Amino acid sequence: MSLQFEIAAESAGAGRSAHLTLPHGVVQTPVFMPVGTAATVKAVPQDVLERLNAEIILANTYHLYLRPGHELIRRAGGLHRFMSWERPMLTDSGGFQVFSLAKLRKISDDGVEFQSHLDGSKHFFSPEHSMEVQIALGADVMMAFDECVETPASWERTKNSMALTHAWAGRSKKYWEEHRHEVPWAREFEDKHQALFGIVQGGMYADLRKESAERLVEMDFPGYAIGGLAVGEPREVTREMIALTLEHLPKDRPRYVMGVGYPDEIEEYAKMGVDMMDCVLPTRAGRHGLLFVREDPNDRTSPVVRMNIKKLEYAEDHGPIDAGCGCMVCARYSRAYLRHLFASGEPLGATLNSIHNLSFYLETMERVRGELASV
Ligand SMILES: [Zn+2]
């Protein structure tokens, strides 16, 4: 097995706290993974991520394949060495970006032909090629190549797309088994091979989600992801799809919901039994001057409030963003200063806002892990 997953405690609501051991270290779950799209969590240096206790980060295969190119990263000794990050990493398959960013896609059973959103150049991704790129990047966890159906999509269209995803999952796994090799810089674990997760699709249809989960479990992956959610559907539907998919995934494997969500959502899903989540929201919102705070700073379980730092009311507010937040930004800088940085277009504003938001997410998950461990 290319990873170890040991459940430490489980709540009545099926949430669990666990230790996920990967070649580059142990990750305490449930975990939030900051997104490092182009081998950088935008505007936040690696040493700061370490100080925030980010135990695993994500990078995007599609972006790194186009720029600087996976072969360059392979020659650099893999993504860990290239970006100087010694802790665990996960790469996505490139599927989501190919279907959401690239132009003029032509999909066949074999794979997908697309044009780069950067320069219009033509490329082809198949399951095998996605695996090859992810092996070159060398993250601890890689993802099977999947088709991401548009939303909304009919049952028929979703079923056909799901069948393609299953065929591609089988091909991804075969290629991974034949070509996987030890990752560079691994220290923690006797098995230094990359793990491969399968991705459950099935759109917003309960019967298809169940079928997809069952098909993937038959293929026996070290971990499972739930994809194709948080793509514009109402939050109740996201929750329902997660809940029913979890029922069909093995309890002894890590379960990852891709691309969610707001801080209250990640807390809710963690308590339902989701072990891993990622989202660009904390950094993207930070760059737009949106900060997550607690309604009552002294009660870290109180509702999440979005603070828009652009507002005039903060111009001479010399208090911290969130008086109950333990982050390095709240310890040092005022709302007035952050508002000034944002209003002046100073890059430090994006950095500080992103650090606070990431800290907010990571602290939320730390509290949830504590709650799950103490039941
Ligand atoms: Zn803070």
242 CA from centroid of ligand 1 (Å): 30
Residue whose pair of structure tokens reads 């759109």 in the numeric block: 203
236 CA from centroid of ligand 1 (Å): 29
Task: Name the pLDDT band for 99 (thresholds 50, 70, 90).
Answer: confident
Superfamily of domain 4-279: Queuine tRNA-ribosyltransferase-like (3.20.20.105)
Supply the DSSP symbol for 118. Answer: T
How many percent of the chain have pLDDT more than 70? 98
pLDDT above 60 for 299: yes
pLDDT in tens, 333-363: 999 999 999 999 999 999 999 999 999 999 9
pLDDT in tens, 8-43: 999 988 999 999 999 999 999 999 999 999 999 999
**Are 140 and 183 contacting, i.e. CB atoms less than 8 angstroms apart?**
yes
What is the pTM (predicted TM-score) of this model?
0.97
pLDDT in tens, 240-261: 999 999 999 999 999 999 999 9
353 CA from centroid of ligand 1 (Å): 8
359 CA from centroid of ligand 1 (Å): 6
pLDDT, mean over the chain: 95
Cα–Cα dist 350/303, whole Å:
24
pLDDT above 90 for 134: yes
29 CA from centroid of ligand 1 (Å): 22
Query: Which residue in 92, 140, 275, 322 is the catalytic one?
Result: 92
Phi/psi region, residue 273 (left: phi>0; alpha: psi -120 to 50; beta: rest), is left
Cα–Cα dist 107/105, whole Å:
6
Respond yes or no: is residue 278 known to be catalytic.
yes
Compute φ and ψ for 308, nearest 5 degrees.
-95, 105
Query: Which residue in 140, 146, 278, 322 is the catalytic one?
Result: 278
Respond yes or no: is residue 317 known to be catalytic.
no
Mean pLDDT of 280-287: 98
Residues 6+ apart with CB under 8 A from 15: 30, 270, 271, 272, 273, 368, 372
User: Shortest CA distance to 133 belongs to which of 182, 176, 86?
Assistant: 176
Mean pLDDT of 142-162: 94
Domain ranges of the chain: 4-279, 286-363
318 CA from centroid of ligand 1 (Å): 14
CA 48 to chain centre: 19
Cα–Cα dist 230/260, whole Å:
6
pLDDT in tens, 38-88: 999 999 999 999 999 999 999 999 999 999 999 999 999 999 999 999 999
pLDDT above 80 for 188: no
pLDDT above 70 for 129: yes
